[in-house]
Amino acid sequence: MTVAEPMIRLVGLTKRFVLHAQGAVELGVLDDLSLDVARGECVALDGPSGAGKSTLLRTVYANYKADAGQVWVRHDGALVDLATAPSARCSNCGAARSAISASSCTSSRACRP
């Protein structure tokens, strides 16, 4: 793996929630979000309450299913798309957590979802 290859790659990530008890109102939380995170890079998610920080992490961890886009996480040297992988693949490999804690921080930046 070269330095240029990301540990995490988000492409066109979109996540919406439907409030069924409020007339099926849709909340667009993530809209076409793209982001690469390199090995050893620290990324701080910054924003006010409700900006989508937790939704982004839960989607990367595959706790939430993305409505659109791809969540690529490097696992065992290959990128795995957790947005489309079967749920057994997601729960067995721990890929997202492995990629997020892959190494100590060598650089950092802030990101707003």
Q: Give the pair of three-digit tokens for residue 21.
A: 């008890």
Sheet containing strand 25-38, strands side by side: 25-38, 6-19, 68-75, 78-81
**b/e for 32-47, b at 16 or more Cβ within 10 A?**
ebebebbbebebeeee
Q: pLDDT digit of tens for each residue in the chain (113 aa)?
A: 555 689 999 999 999 999 999 999 999 999 999 999 998 898 899 999 989 999 999 998 888 889 999 999 888 888 888 887 766 444 444 545 444 544 344 444 555 55
Ordered structural domains, the chain, with CATH = 6-111 (3.40.50.300)
The reported pLDDT for the residue numbered 89 is 47
For 100, the token pair is: 């997020």
